[in-house]
Structure 1
Amino acid sequence: MANITESKKVAIKRTRAHGKHSRKGCGTCKIRRVKCDETRPICQRCMKFGVKCDGYLPDGPGQRHENRTQPTSGYLSTPLDAAIALLELPNTYSFDSEDESQYFSLFRDKTIFQIIPYFDQTPFRTLILQACDIPSIRHAVIAIGALDKTCMTVNDQRALCFDRHTINPNSHHQNAIKEYTKAIRIMKEEVASGQPSLRTTLLTCLMIVCFEYFHGNYRLADAQIHNGIALVDNWRRSFPYAHQHPLGFSSPAPDIVEDQLIQVFGQLEVQSLCFAGDPRTPAMHWQLRNEGTAIIRNMPECFDNIYDAKIYQALILRRLQHWQFCIGANYSPPISRDMDEEKEVWGATSCVDHSDLRQLSPESGSTVSDRAAQHRFHLEEFHHWKYCFDNFLRKNPEQKNTLATALLELCFMTTNLHLSTALAGDATIYDQFTEQFIQIVDHCEKTLVLLHKKSDQKVVFTFDSGTILPLYFTALSCRVPKIRRRAIGVLLAWPRREGVSDSLFAGRSAEWIVGIEEENMEDGYVPGWARVKYVGTSFSLLNRRAELVCNQPILTPNGKSTRERRQIITW
């Protein structure tokens, strides 16, 4: 096996055309980082691409706008930052009512910054706002803004409960449903009238995912994620150099579909793999696990900026998740089904069923020794990323206390602990990592404080995963009462949704599991035999109600046994 920490690496040359960038090009081409033909008053390249041309800045002193490969700020942008960075996006859209105009303005000035808060994502935000020229996307954006207004008006986290089966007195919520319905109708009409471009289809898909995430309908959101990923993957594989552009890392043709859009779907795949399972075979996962090997092997010793660090980390996480699927690991964490769907079973002590990891997997053909070697490889790969990231922080000390750095370090801590214990086959392995669990909770609190410092109002929904999974993992896996209760306390004290995860649901379900385990606690310690292994969940996030079921280990005169426990929780 090649050692990925070899000191000398040759950079992968990306096969894409780069023209000379003119400083006199239109604002849209500058943001998309493509060569502008400088046709006036409207750039022909923008017309052919199907986006609105922002026009040209006047010539004169101080009008130089340098391009950069990736954003470098780890701070949450503010509307003032956006006004400068987005080069004064046009605001000539036609609205049917004053409400529509206000919801759109709210999305543009606030919502879009809070749902993607951890990194300077100016190019992606610009992409979304420019796409509002498309009526279906514009109405979807208005609907998301109306949902955000609903939360602001009610000023209660139960504003995130949107029950479609009852009449909601909140007029903003009614408007959100109306605008979303209008967006879906227009989307269907666009498809019926002619095949929309891949870019438009992906943007439409993304807006549906965002609305359904915000609204709590994860089944529909997950279906859209899989549709989008399939479209991206099929398109990507049509290029002869597709191996240089693994899913979620980069676009093989950024003049057709931008890097930022491809990267967002890569992040969505990571979330979907964590929560909703995956229908692909172990053999397919094995192929996906190997995607990007050369790119990771040639990872720069020091990242150019923090966004590059994020993209490389996401690629490593995706490869790791596909490996866990192909060896038979059972991913089924809690948030994936409505109550009228089949029940899900997930490992209460871990996101992975440890017993599966010790068995042979005929489809992947790997043995226990093979898995041990693969396990070491993925650990080494992840630690090499940390080495490169530490080099970046030493070179850029101003980034050490940023929100983006806190999130990347939190992801590393949690994944490293999870991966380090993956082959143990015994949940008592976590008892050796008490200090690491403390660090995870500390880092989650730090991340949440940084997040809310950058926003005037509480952030109740973000598109990316952040602190919920690490806190939930700690509450279930660490058996030190004080630490696991502290993790639960943070989940409940900061109500929010992060992608597919809900902090209140995670906190309430963890409370129940902890209570069951501690019924058999001895001198402040939960013995190995008393630890709950599986928990079944069936729930409706729209109604904020769930049924939990588990088999509690017990001791009887005849030896060890189990008894079924059930609980209805609401939040």
Structure 2
Amino acid sequence: MRPGGRTKVKSGCRTCKIRKVKCDEGRPACQRCISTGRVCDGYGIWGGGGNAYGDPQRLTISKSTQVIHRPLLSGIIDDKGYLEWFKCRTAIKIPGTFRSNFWSTLLPQASFSEPAVLHAVLALSSVHKRQTVNTDAQRLIRTNPDQQEQFGLRNYVKSIKAIGHLKPHCSIKDRASFRVALITCVVFVCLEFLRGHFETGLVHLRNGISILREMKILSNRNDAVARLKSRRDSTDDWIIEALSRLHLQVELFQYTFEHPNPNLCLQGTWQNTPASIFHSIFEGWQELERLLNGIIYLTHQARRQAVPGCVSAKESLELLEHQQHIKESLVQWLATWEAFEQSWGPASEERQKAYLVLHVFHSMGAIMVNTCLHPRDEMIFDYHTNQFIFLIMQLAGLRDVHLIKTLPGHLMDMSRSVVDFGWIPPLYITAVKCRVHRIRLQAIRLLESTSHREGIWDAKITACVARKVMEIEERDFYENEDTEDFFPLDSLPTPRDLDLPVLPDSHRLREVEVVLSGAPVDRILLFCKRMQHGLDCRVLLSEFDVHLQRWKD
């Protein structure tokens, strides 16, 4: 207790904090202020109060806002240059096709009032600038951190220290402190993925999901959404959206093998009735992302079912019902999306790219949902050859409007890298799961035609792994067959291509697992599952040395 019998105020609106009274934290204005006739000043970057929270004009950072928060940057001249880079380059490029208010609004505002977020943003900007400006040769020659890298590392450490100061507030469930920690966590994940420190990035992602569980946001999300005029007006939803997208990327990366799944809390409301109309590209992607999460959930449940005694007959029936629901939802999504496209008329190149990405992920989702309940049956993908052909032609079309040609060297062109979805996941899944030689080779060659990164997905690493999987599976099976491996990347398979003998089940790899080792990654480990002495064993197939560009079986 403080002198006078008052409890120290650690959270609440600005008005209640100044008055040193307990705030009920009501939105948009707290009841304490309303009941006393006062103007509620809101919750800083978290909005609320007697202001126009949710108004896009207010949410844009103005020069006056920067002046107010300038003391946070006082005495640090270099920081302003990196903030300018972040504003003009990183915040525009990194989010990718499906941009969100997390990057355009929340992160810039939070960086001007929260030290932890500011230093995380500076570190991310430094890494992005360094990787974009420097050539592959310059990055390989340097063995010690240069001045720019040291700047990024210093701010990384400062951000971690600033988060440490938030721990007392997090321990008392202070929502604002949780949000600062989550925003910083998202930036850390993106930063580590850009650096090629994938294992560290995954640790940050898991930490972020653990914080979400503590906040209990997800369990109450439906009620919160119902109370809001727009989902995108909610800070919590912006944060969840950013983490959810990173989570889905990782789950797709791990889609081909069984793995511990601590992230099921992000599945959201995938069993809900699909939307009957879309008002924006963003809404279309949100709906599709929800369905993809549902398919991944079903895949995990089916893997449990494959173990005797883990799933009851009732649960098996429920999985079939859920699968059918998602199939129907995907059909309805496509009809709704095509109606949205027609209503907009001719599309710009950027909008056309977004349209193609959405169609690609819908086609990939259709294959995944049709095969998800048979995780140990690699032959089942042969029934979906026509869908794979349709998907590969969509991907070939996407290449013309979206991606770049391969650059010299084995490192990535970071100026084209994003933390959003592009074409790498569907190309990889096609290359690994479709056993029609011509189709999978086309997917691999499309991957090899680019050199960028999409979050945890690295184009050259993915292409390297996919080609190795094809070589291991096919071996000399097509040695006496006349295969045409040099064809235009936008061409359709010929009847002759499709008439090749079917690759037998004994040749196919099951549970293909890729481990990215090192910081930055210097080894790629390729595993699969095989029966040995009556046991289903995880087997190391091969190891790739990134610098030597060589597999060691």
Same fold (TM over 0.5): yes
Tell me how far 1:157 sits from its aligned partner: 9.4
1:315 maps to: 290
**Secondary structure in 2 matching 1:303:** coil
Checking the alignment, whether the CA contact within 8 Å between 2:128 and 2:414 is kept in structure 1 is: no
Q: Distance in 2 between matches of 1:405 and 1:143?
A: 33
The number of aligned residues is: 462
Equivalent residue for 2:504, pick from 527, 540, 550: 527
- One-letter amino acid matched to 2:298: W
Tell me how far 1:307 sits from its aligned partner: 1.1
Q: Is 1:393 aligned to residue 341 of structure 2?
A: yes
Change (3 A) 1:180 1:446: farther
Checking the alignment, whether the CA contact within 8 Å between 1:536 and 1:549 is kept in structure 2 is: yes
- One-letter amino acid matched to 1:462: V
Unpaired runs of 5+ in structure 2?
1-26, 31-37, 405-412, 482-499, 532-537
Matches within 5 A, 1:392-411: 392-399=340-347, 402-411=352-361
**Secondary structure in 1 matching 2:276:** coil
2:408 maps to: none
**Secondary structure in 1 matching 2:286:** helix
Change (3 A) 1:288 1:213: closer
Two-structure CA RMSD over aligned residues (Å):
4.3
Unpaired runs of 5+ in structure 1?
1-32, 37-42, 58-64, 69-81, 330-355, 554-561
**Secondary structure in 2 matching 1:395:** helix
Tell me how far 1:319 sits from its aligned partner: 2.4
Tell me how far 1:449 sits from its aligned partner: 4.4
Checking the alignment, whether the CA contact within 8 Å between 2:98 and 2:285 is kept in structure 1 is: no
Change (3 A) 1:547 1:436: same
1:371 maps to: 319
Checking the alignment, whether the CA contact within 8 Å between 1:530 and 1:552 is kept in structure 2 is: no
1:5 maps to: none
2:280 maps to: 305
Tell me how far 1:250 sits from its aligned partner: 8.6
Tell me how far 1:173 sits from its aligned partner: 2.2
Tell me how far 1:549 sits from its aligned partner: 4.5
Q: Distance in 1 between matches of 2:358 and 2:228?
A: 19
1:174 maps to: 150
**Secondary structure in 2 matching 1:318:** helix
Q: Is 1:48 aligned to residue 25 of structure 2?
A: no
**Secondary structure in 1 matching 2:432:** helix
1:440 maps to: 391
Equivalent residue for 1:362, pick from 288, 307, 310: 310
Tell me how far 1:148 sits from its aligned partner: 1.1
Matches within 5 A, 1:331-342: none
- One-letter amino acid matched to 1:325: H
Change (3 A) 1:270 1:548: closer
Matches within 5 A, 1:5-16: none
- One-letter amino acid matched to 1:265: L
Tell me how far 1:111 sits from its aligned partner: 0.8
2:94 maps to: 115
Checking the alignment, whether the CA contact within 8 Å between 1:360 and 1:366 is kept in structure 2 is: no
Q: Is 1:229 aligned to residue 209 of structure 2?
A: yes
Q: Distance in 2 between matches of 1:547 and 1:484?
A: 21
Change (3 A) 1:533 1:108: same
**Secondary structure in 1 matching 2:303:** coil
1:186 maps to: 162
Checking the alignment, whether the CA contact within 8 Å between 1:492 and 1:503 is kept in structure 2 is: yes
Change (3 A) 1:545 1:199: same
Checking the alignment, whether the CA contact within 8 Å between 1:289 and 1:323 is kept in structure 2 is: no
2:299 maps to: 324
Tell me how far 1:409 sits from its aligned partner: 1.2
- One-letter amino acid matched to 2:387: Q
- One-letter amino acid matched to 2:303: G
Q: Distance in 2 between matches of 1:262 and 1:398?
A: 33
**Secondary structure in 2 matching 1:548:** strand
Q: Is 1:419 aligned to residue 369 of structure 2?
A: yes
Give identity over the alignment, percent: 20
Higher helix share: 2
* CA displacement 1:250-304 (0-9 Å, x = unmatched): 99998773432222222233234334677568xx95x9768453xx31x332212
Q: Distance in 2 between matches of 1:458 and 1:290?
A: 32
Tell me how far 1:406 sits from its aligned partner: 1.8
Change (3 A) 1:95 1:465: farther
**Secondary structure in 2 matching 1:544:** strand
1:148 maps to: 128
1:547 maps to: 525
* CA displacement 1:217-276 (0-9 Å, x = unmatched): 23332233233233334434598x6444699x9999987734322222222332343346
Q: Distance in 1 between matches of 2:319 and 2:389?
A: 29
Equivalent residue for 2:470, pick from 514, 522, 531: 514
- One-letter amino acid matched to 1:531: R
Change (3 A) 1:244 1:407: farther
Q: Distance in 2 between matches of 1:399 and 1:132?
A: 34
Checking the alignment, whether the CA contact within 8 Å between 1:104 and 1:145 is kept in structure 2 is: yes
Checking the alignment, whether the CA contact within 8 Å between 1:168 and 1:174 is kept in structure 2 is: no
Q: Is 1:505 aligned to residue 461 of structure 2?
A: yes
2:15 maps to: none
**Secondary structure in 1 matching 2:421:** coil
**Secondary structure in 2 matching 1:545:** strand
Q: Distance in 1 between matches of 2:116 and 2:223?
A: 33
Q: Is 1:212 aligned to residue 212 of structure 2?
A: no
Checking the alignment, whether the CA contact within 8 Å between 1:475 and 1:484 is kept in structure 2 is: yes
Q: Distance in 2 between matches of 1:461 and 1:250?
A: 34
Tell me how far 1:537 sits from its aligned partner: 4.2
Checking the alignment, whether the CA contact within 8 Å between 2:197 and 2:521 is kept in structure 1 is: no
1:27 maps to: none
Q: Distance in 2 between matches of 1:233 and 1:201?
A: 13
Question: Quick one: higher RCO (CA 8 Å, sep 6+), 1 or 2?
Answer: 1
Q: Distance in 1 between matches of 2:78 and 2:168?
A: 29
Q: Distance in 2 between matches of 1:415 and 1:482?
A: 21
Tell me how far 1:146 sits from its aligned partner: 0.9
* CA displacement 1:177-223 (0-9 Å, x = unmatched): 22212221222234358855232222122222222222222333223
Q: Distance in 2 between matches of 1:250 and 1:224?
A: 30
Q: Distance in 2 between matches of 1:191 and 1:50?
A: 20
Change (3 A) 1:292 1:534: closer
Q: Distance in 2 between matches of 1:261 and 1:250?
A: 16
- One-letter amino acid matched to 1:270: L
Q: Distance in 1 between matches of 2:513 and 2:101?
A: 41
Matches within 5 A, 1:449-488: 449-451=400-402, 459-488=415-444
Change (3 A) 1:431 1:246: farther
Q: Distance in 1 between matches of 2:260 and 2:215?
A: 20
- One-letter amino acid matched to 1:502: D
Q: Distance in 2 between matches of 1:366 and 1:250?
A: 37
Q: Distance in 1 between matches of 2:268 and 2:447?
A: 35
2:331 maps to: 383
> TM-score, normalized by length of structure 2?
0.71
1:61 maps to: none
Checking the alignment, whether the CA contact within 8 Å between 2:447 and 2:463 is kept in structure 1 is: yes
Q: Distance in 1 between matches of 2:417 and 2:403?
A: 12
Change (3 A) 1:85 1:548: same
- One-letter amino acid matched to 1:533: R
Tell me how far 1:569 sits from its aligned partner: 3.8
**Secondary structure in 1 matching 2:43:** helix
Q: Is 1:490 aligned to residue 446 of structure 2?
A: yes
- One-letter amino acid matched to 2:366: N
Q: Is 1:201 aligned to residue 181 of structure 2?
A: yes
Checking the alignment, whether the CA contact within 8 Å between 1:140 and 1:183 is kept in structure 2 is: yes
**Secondary structure in 2 matching 1:105:** helix
Q: Distance in 2 between matches of 1:564 and 1:278?
A: 16
